[in-house]
Amino acid sequence: MKNLILPKTGTGGTERVTHLKEDAKKAAKYVYYFGGGKADGNESMKNLLGGKGANLAEMAGHPNLRLPVPPGFTITTDVCTYYYKNKKKYPAILKAQVQKALSAVEKDMGKRFDDPNNPLLVSVRSGARRSMPGMMETVLDIGLNEKTIKGVIKQSGDARFAYDAYRRLIMMYADVVMEKADGIVPKGNKGIRKVLDEKLEKVKHKQGYKFDTDLTVNELKTLVKDFKATVLKVLGKPFPENPYEQLWGSIGAVFSSWRGKRAIEYRLIEKIPDEWGTAVSVQAMVFGNMGNTSATGVAFTRNPGTGENKFYGEYLLNAQGEDVVAGIRTPAPVNEYSKNAQSRHLPTLEETMPDLYKQLFEIQKKLERHYKDMQDIEFTIEKGKLYMLQCRVGKRNGIAAVKMASDMYDEKMIDAKKAIMRIAPNQLVELLLPMLDPEIQKATKPIAKGLPAGPGGAKGRVVFSSIDAVKWAAKGEKVILVREETSPEDVDGMYKSQAILTTKGGMTSHAALVARGWGKCCIVGCADIEIHSDTKSFKANDGTFIKEGDWLSLDGTKGLVYKGSMGLVDIDLDKNESYTNIMKLVDKIKIIGVRTNAETPADAAQGLKFGAEGIGLFRTEHMFYGEGSDQPLFLLRKMIVSKTEDERKLALNELFRYVKKDVKDTLNIMKGYPVTIRLLDPPLHEFVPHDKEKLLQLSQELGISMNLLKRRVLALHENNPMLGHRGVRLGVSYPEVTEMQVRAILEATGELLLAGQKAFPEIMVPVTCTENELIHQKKIVDRVYKEVCDELKIKKIPYLYGTMIEIPRAALRAEKMATVADFFSFGTNDLTQMSFGFSRDDIGGFLPIYLDEKLLEDDPFMTIDQEGVGELIKFGTERGRKAKPHLKVGICGEHGGDAESVKFCHRIGMNYVSCSPFRVPIARLAAAQAALEYPIIT
Ligand code: ADP
Ligand code: MG
Ligand code: MG
């Protein structure tokens, strides 16, 4: 009764309706056959047959393929579910179905299981819906015992091979079935596999052999005897002689391995549900260990490291399955192209077995054309005959993903849609940044591990303060800034460093945010090291001691810290044709705009280079930090501690030209693309100096006493500055501050227009909560606008007036706000902070627990909390557009560069997202994927 299972092809998976009524259960199909050019299942049935089982069926049975796959059958994931629901018992009908399928395999192979003359041997293999490489178990050579081995020797004429298979079976079975599946915790953590392995090594050592293949028949025979005795002694049970007991023992062990420690941990990381379960495939054995006309290998239809369209793989002569990955012998390259430093001298498969290589080459081509994606394949050659044992979509890094997508599109293998969907937006990060040389990195042990806050690789000499970083960098040194934490005062040193390493702080700490914005390599929360500031040194938990000036290399993508100077591989995006090709498709398909956040004209240029269509957030505050900030910062401070309007105006007048220059440069770079300029936002006290020297200087300049100055500074103190005198509140209490900025913006624009350039500013008022604030500020804008037009003798200066929506009340009052504002930009950092009541700077204390305990799915500062904060955004957008149907709506803040958040913004019909320059390509790709996934915009 096949129709209990309703496969819906084309979704990449199988939707199933399982009737749980008793009578229906009896009729369920639990076993799917493959082999002899046909198969019950196919590739679309991964949910039921697991990835491995579904692809074995596809390879064996699809009319376009019908590849040489050893026959076998797959026991469904439903059985796994049943097994765990019913105290590790199977459905009653399973035994008969397995027996029937096994008979079919026997017929196909012309051998019989448990036949002393011509025995069939099988493997029992695991396979979940999504591949969980190496996480579950496989048992090979099942069916061998004292009797059947005679038959194997007779049929193969190769006693050495037979005993080699036998010793493998005993080792695997004892390990996987008798120990692990039975939950036996080995004494002193030394498992049975290790015990047996040592025995093998001892023999090799004694005989002076290098490889397993050097062992003679007699040595193997003795080993088998020894293995059996050891199993009995260590595990208290004999290795089972009965092949059926071996078969069912292995099936049970594979199901059990779904709940093994490794598998559970892997599922947690990869977010694979526990309910899925694994399928079990039982398959006739073919032997790569039958001497030098036999071999086994793994290969990729394209190079998974570079994406190059070249067949790439490794093989071992006279070996079985796991040997290739286990690294017992160095695998040889399948062809010239696959050679590496270690395998350069080894003969290729193309040389040793040219005909078989040709066959394999044709098959992999066929497979790739069939699946229309790069395949990762496993094959075995038995006495000159090739068998396919596995295929699946191969994993690849970001660079390869882009190249393959672009090439396959060019080759007309896939359409634009598929090409775009093939690349995970975050994979693009790898293309944008230099990284540590992967070969060297593989061979080096990290000294510490932290949180991967800013991706890419970097190397430099260690310094422990921002001031030192600046000093050393000025001398042309490459430095890595190592601190417990960073603060805005460190920004200059951070900027001058190759990378930043902090021992405290989380993924949203100051260092992390700043570094990510710059696309700078950064590791935070690295508790493995302890800084000793007094001696300018740190010590890692592994004992490594690093002092100022020593070289360090960081992998910010993985959070790994290495001692010494490692090579970096640089990637020039402009030269990457595949990237350019893909991004052209992306821009054709995406609907939502992508802008960049920028603090300086240099950021703007970078964003533009990455494809930004404007600036969504230009913060003028930056001019008060870092290089060249001395004068503007001084003027700002002067303005802040001014008491009278006249004093303040004086300072503002001087500050004006700095603001205007910054704005003008940026508008000029953006060539008429919209530039959203935010009016001064932070609480003023942030800029006030606290050290005596600076205070003294300020008091002298202002001509007031130190005491008076101190009192003025004290008056600025707030208990809760984040919710204090900041944003539009500054503009309301000091209208002249708004006036100065608006004048700078409009004059800059007007002058550019008069010079024949294009410029389009959008004036954005931050931290608003009522339309009255917007009305209040608009009056200033209107007045200044008229004045500037008159002054420059210009009729019209195009600009928009709008607001940042970052206070929940503003979202709720959106309809009213929109009567005054031409645009909204959701400031999702603050909106999240104020919606949750989570302080952005202090979540380190509890957020990890919230995530661990699954109280929250994700860090809401990393990806928009769609059901809470997202509702506010949606509501605000809808209400705003009710008042003003063409209200421009965008988002600025870290979320603009998060793929899921971009997709959300697309779905609710925003006009654009804005993110830091280095996230722009990621946002563009995510935007195109969103347009493909959700083509209808409401
Ligand atoms: P994994 O999922 O860990 O890759 P597999 O089920 O693919 O485990 O098995 C590991 C290896 O065992 C395979 O790569 C293959 O070389 C070998 N193997 C499995 N089944 C057979 C078989 N029927 N004949 C020969 N080798 C096999
Ligand atoms: Mg495999
Ligand atoms: Mg804000």
Structure tokens that stand for 796 in this block: 């019209």
Q: Over the chain, what is the mean pLDDT?
A: 90
The closest residue, in CA terms, to atom 15 on ligand 1 is: 321
The closest residue, in CA terms, to atom 19 on ligand 1 is: 123
- Report pTM: 0.81
Query: Is 263 within 8 Å of 257 (Cβ atoms)?
Result: yes
The closest residue, in CA terms, to atom 23 on ligand 1 is: 285
The CA angle 341-345-351, to the nearest 5 degrees, is 120
Q: What is the pLDDT of residues 37-83, one digit of tens each?
A: 999 999 999 999 999 999 999 999 999 999 999 999 999 999 999 99
Query: At how many degrees (to 10) do helices 159-173 and 243-257 cross?
Result: 50
Residue type, 101: A
Is 914 close to ligand 1, i.e. is its CB under 6 Å away? no
Spatial neighbors of 442 by CB under 8 A, at least 6 apart, are none
Of 501-510, 574-583, 722-731, which range is least confident?
A: 501-510
Choose from 428-442, 577-591, 923-937 the range with maximum mean pLDDT.
Answer: 577-591
Is 213 close to ligand 1, i.e. is its CB under 6 Å away? no
- pLDDT number for residue 395: 83
Ligand 1 atom with the shortest distance to the CA of 283: 23
What is the pLDDT confidence band of residue 6, given thresholds at 50, 70 and 90?
A: very low
Structure tokens that stand for 910 in this block: 């925003």
Burial of 533: CB neighbours in 10 Å, binned 0-12, 13-18, 19+ = exposed
What is the pLDDT confidence band of residue 504, given thresholds at 50, 70 and 90?
A: confident
- pLDDT number for residue 271: 78
Query: Is 152 within 8 Å of 162 (Cβ atoms)?
Result: yes
| Number of Cα atoms under 13 Å in the Cβ half of residue 265 | 6
- Of 548, 490, 547, nearest in space to 520 by CA: 490
In the predicted structure, residue 325 carries a pLDDT above the cut 70: no
Q: What is the pLDDT of residues 135-174, one digit of tens each?
A: 788 899 999 999 999 999 999 999 999 999 999 999 999 9
Strand 529-532's sheet: what is its strand order? 529-532, 537-540, 545-547
Is 322 close to ligand 1, i.e. is its CB under 6 Å away? yes
| Options 892, 895, 906, 915, the catalytic residue | 892
Tell me how far apart the alpha carbons of residues 34 and 793 are, in angstroms, rounded to a whole number: 83
Structure tokens that stand for 741 in this block: 């900025």
Q: What percent of the chain stands above pLDDT 70?
A: 94
**What's the first-to-final CA gap in the chain, in angstroms?**
44
Q: Is 532 a catalytic residue?
A: no
Q: What is the pLDDT of residues 342-372, one digit of tens each?
A: 678 999 999 999 999 999 999 999 999 999 9
- Of 448, 469, 450, nearest in space to 460 by CA: 469
Residue 310 CB neighbours (<10 A):
14
Kindly state the average pLDDT of the residues 280-307: 92
Query: At how many degrees (to 10) do helices 630-640 and 692-702 cross?
Result: 70
Contacts 24+ apart (CB under 8 A), 719-723: 721/683, 721/685, 721/686, 722/683, 722/833, 722/839
Spatial neighbors of 192 by CB under 8 A, at least 6 apart, are 171, 174, 175, 178, 179, 186, 230, 231, 234, 235
What is the pLDDT confidence band of residue 304, given thresholds at 50, 70 and 90?
A: confident
Is 170 close to ligand 1, i.e. is its CB under 6 Å away? no
Kindly report the three-state secondary structure assignment for every residue of 708-760: HHHHHHHHCCCCCHHHCCCCHHHHHHCHHHHHHHHHHHHHHHHHHHHCCCCCE
- Centre of ligand 2 to C-alpha 275, Å, is 22
Tell me how far apart the alpha carbons of residues 289 and 299 are, in angstroms, rounded to a whole number: 18
In the predicted structure, residue 22 carries a pLDDT above the cut 70: no
What is the pLDDT confidence band of residue 7, given thresholds at 50, 70 and 90?
A: very low
Kindly state the average pLDDT of the residues 434-454: 88
Q: What are the residues facing 283 on neighbouring strands? A: 72, 123
What is the bridge-based pairing of β-strands 295-300 and 521-524?
unpaired
- Centre of ligand 2 to C-alpha 124, Å, is 12
- Centre of ligand 3 to C-alpha 893, Å, is 8
At 877 the three-state DSSP class reads helix
What is the pLDDT confidence band of residue 509, given thresholds at 50, 70 and 90?
A: low
- Of 814, 837, 836, nearest in space to 889 by CA: 814
Query: Is 859 within 8 Å of 847 (Cβ atoms)?
Result: yes
Query: Is 695 within 8 Å of 707 (Cβ atoms)?
Result: no
- Centre of ligand 3 to C-alpha 937, Å, is 28
Ligand 1 atom with the shortest distance to the CA of 287: 25
Query: Is 912 within 8 Å of 893 (Cβ atoms)?
Result: no
What is the pLDDT confidence band of residue 936, given thresholds at 50, 70 and 90?
A: low
Query: Is 770 within 8 Å of 813 (Cβ atoms)?
Result: yes
Number of H-type helices and E-type strands within the chain: 36, 34
Query: Is 911 within 8 Å of 888 (Cβ atoms)?
Result: yes
Q: What is the pLDDT of residues 633-679, one digit of tens each?
A: 888 888 888 888 888 888 899 999 999 999 999 999 999 999 999 99
- pLDDT number for residue 642: 83
Ligand 1 atom with the shortest distance to the CA of 127: 2
In the predicted structure, residue 340 carries a pLDDT above the cut 80: no
Choose from 573-582, 688-697, 917-926 the range with maximum mean pLDDT.
Answer: 917-926
Ligand 1 mutation pick, 74, 108, 125, 316, max ligand atoms within 8 A of CB: 125
Nearest ligand, measured from the Cα of 827: 3
In the predicted structure, residue 571 carries a pLDDT above the cut 90: no
Place of tokens 């695997």: 172
Q: What is the pLDDT of residues 789-806, one digit of tens each?
A: 999 999 999 999 999 999
Q: Which residues surround ligand 3, an ion (CB under 5 A)?
A: 806, 827, 830
Place of tokens 């209107």: 782
Q: What percent of the chain stands above pLDDT 90?
A: 68
What is the pLDDT confidence band of residue 14, given thresholds at 50, 70 and 90?
A: very low
- Centre of ligand 1 to C-alpha 176, Å, is 14
Ligand 1 atom with the shortest distance to the CA of 284: 23
Nearest ligand, measured from the Cα of 176: 1
Kindly state the average pLDDT of the residues 265-294: 89
DSSP 174: I
In the predicted structure, residue 10 carries a pLDDT above the cut 70: no
Place of tokens 């008056």: 715
Kindly report the three-state secondary structure assignment for every residue of 550-565: CEEEEECCCCEEEECC
Is 68 close to ligand 1, i.e. is its CB under 6 Å away? no
Of 439-443, 488-492, 737-741, which range is least confident?
A: 488-492
The CA angle 672-677-680, to the nearest 5 degrees, is 160
Tell me how far apart the alpha carbons of residues 718 and 731 are, in angstroms, rounded to a whole number: 18
- pLDDT number for residue 1: 34
* Residue 381, CA distances (Å) to 317, 324, 876 in order: 9, 13, 64
